[in-house]
Homo-oligomer: A and B are copies of this chain.
Amino acid sequence: MNHAYEELKPYLERVLAFQTAKILFEWDNETLAPKEAERNTTRVVGILSGEYFSVITDERVKELVRRCEEERDSLTQVERAVVRELKEEMERLERVPKEEYREFAELTARSTGIWARAKKENDFDSFAPVLKKIVEYTKKFASYRAKEGQRLYDVMLYDYEKGFDVETLDRFFGVLKEQLVPFLKKLTDSGKTIDNGFLTGDYREEDQEAVGRFFAEYVGFDFDRGVMAVSAHPFTTNLHNKDVRITTSYNDHVDDSLFSVIHESGHAIYELGIPDELTQTLVGQGTSMGMHESQSRFFENIIGRNENFWVPVYEKLQERFPKQLGSVTMEQFVRGINKVEPSLIRTQADELTYSLHVLIRYEIEKMLIEEDLDVEKLPDIWADKYEEYLGVRPKQVSEGVLQDIHWSQGSFGYFPSYALGSAFGAQLYHYMKGQMDFEGLLRRGDLGPIREFLREHIHRYGKLKTSRQILKDVTGEDFNPQYYVDYLTEKYGKLYGVERD
């Protein structure tokens, strides 16, 4: 037992309590809270954030962290990881002068509203000056935290994906650009199309909800330890490993809610797999944005859009929607949910084109952060890249550079994780197929062993390992984006009858 760590515990408990309370307020705000509650409730959340800040930056906490680091050998593995996370959070909060942090918080409190209005009114000019300021602050803050010679964009990436830097990402996105862009062109040039009209129609919300609950449970979401609700945009959150919550939303495209539920269930299964020993500590969550997205997209795409997945359950879906799907064969359905269609909106992209949307954002973020790109030029650069990589060109900024909320919140370095996650998933899939009869398990409706593999090798570590370390330990190989490209080109080559060059 280390005395400094023992003394740190009550501080860690308070950090945990303030964090969990904030998460519950956030959940409540997105799913239930009445319209007019916001202002008063924001005040409460602000006070809780202040308390969180005060505990983490307490002089006594700093002293205890220092002592824990000196006495590192007497700490357990978990304790060491907790101290590391605490120290990193402390530095994130402290390196930035309080006054500038406040200014930035005020700016981003306004900026999402300005962005939303600009998007609605299709008016980039009203957002540009705000975005310019946000970029400036973000760069300044990164510069406060940068180690000697560290690139600013690498500082930002660290917050979402430890172990990855511009160099690695350049290689990753380079592979996508070199191989997927021409493959997509070939596929679209082939002129082959898939019918998925039956996915749109009069799908009653109650039925969609019942189907969502069935599939959430089918893939492994545990309703004794979880909740499913409705919000404007689907998300997953968790209070701890016995309370993990997903949301969805309903419209007349049945596949939207269906696959968003399976996607969020993937996120949730990660958090439900955190062991009791780690939950309610600073290392008791998924290790990174990318690894989280790897799990959600693994369930959504590699499992959920796999023909074998539907063998034991497609009839159930037909029974619920006899009018809409009664005469659609399983083969037609599976082709429909895998239809490739280059489009302008990332969140509606199919599995194949998705990462090219991310590629574009990555290239532009690098230009903004590392090359001082003039914000005014964004709409044109955006449109050019869409035309080049996806073959479609936005006519309006609302369906172009203004479509995502992230930059208005100051989140730079976040986008790459979306694509990384897909690539992690493909690498895991390749390895798992060598370890188990993956396709057979899906066909038999026996997802347990797949989930158990992920829990055993990924979930149970929480933040004890980085995503990159996990990949190495599981697959015996460093991150390798080629698996991702191979997975996509094989699957979609077969589906569309085109071959890779």
Contacts and interface: CB of A to CB of B under 8 A. Distances in A.
Count identical subunits in the complex. 2
Nearest to A46: B17
Contacts of A226: 34
A240 B48 CA distance: 16
Interface stretch (A21-29, A90-98, A365-373): A21-29
A39 B242 contact: yes
A454 interface: no
A224 interface: yes
Contacts of A44: 16-17, 20-21, 239-240, 280
A279 B17 contact: no
A27 to B, nearest CB: 8
Looking at A28, A44, A51, which has the most chain B CB atoms within 10 Å of its CB? A44
Contacts of A229: 32
A434 B265 CA distance: 61
Please classify the interface of chain A as helix (H, G, I), strand (E, B), loop, or mixed, using the class held by over half of its residues: helix
Given A21-B48, A47-B13, A34 B243 contact: yes
Nearest to A37: B243
Interface residues of A, number: 36
A223 B36 CA distance: 9
A28 B31 CA distance: 12
Contact of A242 (B36, B48, B223): B36
A274 B227 CA distance: 33
Contacts of A239: 37, 40-41, 44
B279 A40 contact: yes
A13 B37 CA distance: 18
Given A14-B51, A47-B16, A243 B21 contact: no
Given A40-B243, A41-B240, 12 more contacts: A14-B47, A20-B41, A20-B44, A34-B226, A35-B224, A36-B225, A36-B243, A37-B225, A37-B243, A40-B240, A40-B242, A43-B280
